[in-house]
């Protein structure tokens, strides 16, 4: 684990410094894009006929096996395997790009509500056309918290445990869940296993993310309230980092929002918090992401010490 920790520390630092360079990914397909293409191909090819749930299980087994095999083959390359492992690990982490997208919403909202809606539409799946300033701000802050869990903490944890094969396996499952893990007539059966597997893989990272974010606020979380508010969330995992972020900022998150033209009356997370956040609270959330990242990096450094010295 010490060697994985040392490689992970390098990947975290590389991602924090460079993020997602447009000059590179405008010329080459991003690994996440390639994963998305693989999932889309499997959905078109196998989401047909009868026994769609069983087909979905078989597809996910094949995708996971393929991701693990590719990761193992790259990591085992002589001379350059370790460098490619660090580089791909950095690519599959999303700290800097997440913070940049969140801050873009704050900048857009300061310019105009229309620009705020345009920026937040890049990072959320809900309807944005009629959002006011508090709704835009809540959406950005919720996305910051949730994506810190599944875009930073979870992939870092799987890299720590199993190196490049581990992070690739996690990312293919997370990608599949985001594409086919929906309760719609077309996808509910085929994507059932992808959604449940993603829930399982994110169970511990989501709770760890809540503790990391709370530590970044330099205060112990109100665990009773954290458990209560996390349980109010429609997701078994996303409520944990969102509740921790809501506590730390003193802002009520979640609440009513619209999907596909239909308003959903979701309860507020940390309902005692402020109900009218704005760009300043979005910036505070972005600052909290960096403090949480520092807590995570410090923990990885401690694990990497035996390999570094």
Q: What per-residue confidence (pLDDT) applies to 286?
A: 98
Task: Print pLDDT tens along the chain (309 aa).
Answer: 788 999 999 999 999 999 988 888 888 899 999 999 999 999 999 999 999 999 999 999 999 999 999 999 999 999 899 999 999 999 999 999 999 999 999 999 999 999 999 999 999 988 888 899 999 999 999 999 999 999 999 999 999 999 999 999 999 999 999 999 998 999 999 999 999 999 999 999 999 999 999 999 977 778 898 999 998 888 889 999 999 999 999 999 998 888 878 888 889 999 999 999 999 999 999 999 999 999 999 999 999 988 777
Spatial distance between the Cα atoms of 84 and 185, rounded to a whole number of angstroms? 41
Q: pTM for the full model?
A: 0.95
Q: What per-residue confidence (pLDDT) applies to 26?
A: 85
Residue 89 CB-half CA count within 13 A: 33
Q: What per-residue confidence (pLDDT) applies to 307?
A: 76
Domain assignments of the chain as residue spans, ordered by start: 2-308
Q: What per-residue confidence (pLDDT) applies to 265?
A: 85
Q: 101-122 burial, b for 16+ CB within 10 Å, e for fewer? A: bbbbbbebbeeeeebbbbbbbe
Q: What per-residue confidence (pLDDT) applies to 150?
A: 96
Spatial distance between the Cα atoms of 66 and 130, rounded to a whole number of angstroms? 42
Spatial distance between the Cα atoms of 193 and 147, rounded to a whole number of angstroms? 21
């Amino acid at each position: 684990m010490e060697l994985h920790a040392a490689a992970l520390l390098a990947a975290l630092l590389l991602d924090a410094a460079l993020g997602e360079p447009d000059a590179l990914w405008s010329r080459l397909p991003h690994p996440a894009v390639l994963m998305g293409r693989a999932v889309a191909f499997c959905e078109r090819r196998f989401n047909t006929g009868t026994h769609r749930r069983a087909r979905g299980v078989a597809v996910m087994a094949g995708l996971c096996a393929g991701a693990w095999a590719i990761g193992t083959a790259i990591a085992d390359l002589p001379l350059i395997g370790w460098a490619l492992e660090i580089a791909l690990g950095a690519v599959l982490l999303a700290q800097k790009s997440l913070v940049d997208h969140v801050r873009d919403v704050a900048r857009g909202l300061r310019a105009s509500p229309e620009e705020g809606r345009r920026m937040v539409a890049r990072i959320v799946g809900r309807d944005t056309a009629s959002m006011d300033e508090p709704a835009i701000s809540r959406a950005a802050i919720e996305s910051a918290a949730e994506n810190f869990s599944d875009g930073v903490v979870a992939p870092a944890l799987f890299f720590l445990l199993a190196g490049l094969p581990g992070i690739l396996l996690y990312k293919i499952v997370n990608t599949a869940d985001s594409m086919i893990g929906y309760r719609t007539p077309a996808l509910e059966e085929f994507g059932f296993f992808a959604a449940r597997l993603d829930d399982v893989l994110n169970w511990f990272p989501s709770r760890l993310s809540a503790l990391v974010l709370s530590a970044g606020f330099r205060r112990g979380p109100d665990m009773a309230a954290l458990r209560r508010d996390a349980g109010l969330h429609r997701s078994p995992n996303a409520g944990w980092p969102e509740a921790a972020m809501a506590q730390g900022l003193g802002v009520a998150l979640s609440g009513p929002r619209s999907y596909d033209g239909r308003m959903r009356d979701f309860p507020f997370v940390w309902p005692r918090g402020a109900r009218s956040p704005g760009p300043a609270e979005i910036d505070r959330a972005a600052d909290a992401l960096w403090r949480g990242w520092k807590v995570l990096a410090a923990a990885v450094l401690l694990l990497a010490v035996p390999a570094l010295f």
